[in-house]
């Protein structure tokens, strides 16, 4: 049975959820939402890329130990009953529930999940910036020069600001292993603005990586902010210089600063503990685009999308996965009490199916629950529970 929901874009049709992005957070949100809401919503994936690139293998690719893995986004979308639109997100009109794509088209939505990721920017002018697959060859060339004895000192630098430093440590350790195997005595130094190496992982991990660096013969310099590399010197703050033949650095990361959405001084979108964007309705942010404390750009562990979009149901009270996204994002839950519980569209669908399989009473169908919850979310302040 079709129903009329409060938003005007698609009357008498299921709610439309638009997921903007083609990275891990966007794909996880797609998979989780389809698995939980089933056919109660329509999903559109908005991404300019053709493929999803699995980036953790990029460091290994520098040394020929792995290769870039690509997955076709159209196949992923089709496998989960979603439509892929090859375009980007340029702006959002939250009052009208309309987004503008980079090609200038307008697209209405009932709920929007922004999962665009962070944008890398050069942090140390003059250095080789290692931001992803496009920089592999430049890094390979620098390592080859050290391996062949053409350069004597190689620096790896992690700048201040928002960055994700783990790949730099992997790169430094693997470089030393390659150099020593080739008989090269080139000196390797790691300079970081961190007070402790990989301090976001905790003291035990920091002490362990410090030991690994010392064992590999890598000089570690902490608390120094790299500024620029020129004429064989890396200039750092406090003001001094470090001699080097080549410098490989990480980029700093910033948010997209989307018109129509709030963002902090670094461009990241502010969200509450459930991923809902502050100050606007029916919009969520997932992954590195948000200012959520646990993200790859600033912390050791990226919160997967399902932890933000999982409905309140059989999970224990203390579970962080109980984010309470009802159906397509119509609920803004209160942390102090369960929302989107037995009467949410997703929760009801799960219980209704379980009852049908066991032969027990089924009460209302999940479609009926979805209609009531969707209307209630607007009529009763998006509380997510029926009066």
Residues 263 and 218 in one domain: no
351 inside domain: yes
Instruction: Rank 31-40, 148-157, 332-341 by mean pLDDT and report only the highest.
Output: 148-157
112 inside domain: yes
Domain carrying residue 280: 16-118+255-379
386 inside domain: no
- Decide which of 211, 231, 253 is a domain's last residue: 253
Per-residue pLDDT tens over the stretch 240-255: 899 999 999 999 889 9
5 inside domain: no
Residues 112 and 259 in one domain: yes
The answer to whether 327 touches 373, Cβ cutoff 8 Å, is yes
Q: What is the mean pLDDT of residues 226-248?
A: 91
d(C-alpha 387, C-alpha 28), whole Å:
32
Instruction: Rank 20-29, 64-73, 362-371 by mean pLDDT and report only the highest.
Output: 20-29
Residue 37, pLDDT > 80, answer: yes
Residues 148 and 112 in one domain: no
The answer to whether 129 touches 159, Cβ cutoff 8 Å, is no
The answer to whether 68 touches 133, Cβ cutoff 8 Å, is yes
CATH code, 150 = 3.50.50.60
**Quick one: pLDDT at residue 294?**
54
Residues 114 and 159 in one domain: no
140 inside domain: yes
Residue in 251, 167, 241 with CA at minimum distance from that of residue 209: 167
**Quick one: pLDDT at residue 342?**
31
Residues 146 and 113 in one domain: no
Per-residue pLDDT tens over the stretch 335-382: 333 333 333 333 334 344 444 444 444 444 433 333 333 333 333 333
4 inside domain: no
Q: Where are the alpha helices (DSSP H) in the chain?
A: 24-37, 58-62, 73-79, 136-147, 166-181, 203-216, 305-309, 345-358, 366-379
Our count of domains for the chain comes to 2
Residue 285, pLDDT > 80, answer: yes
- Decide which of 253, 273, 294 is a domain's last residue: 253
Residues 106 and 57 in one domain: yes
Tokens of 81: 């009953």
């Amino acid at each position: 049975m079709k129903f009329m929901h409060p938003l005007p874009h698609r009357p008498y049709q299921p709610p439309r959820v638009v997921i903007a992005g083609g990275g891990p957070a966007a794909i996880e949100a797609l998979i989780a939402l389809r698995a939980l809401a089933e056919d109660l919503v329509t999903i559109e994936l908005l991404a300019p890329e053709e493929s999803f690139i699995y980036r953790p293998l990029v460091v290994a690719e520098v040394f020929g130990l792995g290769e870039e893995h690509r997955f076709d986004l159209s196949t992923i979308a089709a496998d989960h009953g979603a439509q892929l639109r090859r375009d980007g997100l340029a702006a959002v009109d939250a009052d009208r529930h309309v987004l503008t794509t980079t090609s200038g088209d307008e697209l209405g939505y009932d709920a929007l999940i922004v999962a665009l990721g962070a944008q890398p920017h050069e942090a140390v002018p003059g250095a080789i910036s290692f931001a992803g697959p496009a920089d592999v060859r430049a890094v390979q060339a620098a390592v080859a020069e050290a391996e062949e004895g053409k350069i004597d000192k190689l620096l790896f630098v992690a700048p201040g600001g928002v960055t994700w430093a783990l790949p730099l440590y992997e790169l430094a350790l693997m470089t030393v292993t390659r150099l020593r195997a080739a008989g090269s005595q080139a000196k390797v130094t790691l300079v970081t603005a961190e007070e402790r190496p990989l301090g976001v992982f905790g003291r035990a991990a920091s002490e362990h990586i410090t030991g690994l660096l010392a064992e590999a013969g890598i000089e570690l310099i902490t608390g120094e902010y790299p500024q620029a590399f020129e004429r064989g010197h890396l200039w750092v703050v406090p003001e001094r210089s470090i001699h080097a033949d080549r410098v490989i650095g990480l980029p700093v990361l910033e948010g997209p600063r989307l018109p129509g959405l709030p963002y902090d001084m670094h461009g990241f979108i502010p969200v509450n503990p459930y991923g809902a964007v502050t100050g606007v309705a029916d919009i969520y942010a997932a992954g590195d685009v948000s200012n959520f404390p646990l993200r790859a750009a600033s912390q050791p562990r990226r919160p997967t999308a399902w932890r933000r979009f999982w409905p309140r149901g059989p999970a224990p009270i203390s579970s962080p996965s109980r984010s309470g996204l009802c159906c397509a994002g119509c609920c803004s839950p209160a942390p102090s009490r369960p929302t989107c519980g037995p009467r949410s569209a997703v929760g009801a669908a799960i219980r209704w199916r379980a009852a049908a399989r066991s032969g027990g009473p089924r009460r209302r169908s999940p479609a009926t629950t979805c209609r009531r919850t969707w209307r209630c979310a607007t009529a009763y302040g998006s509380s997510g529970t029926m009066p």
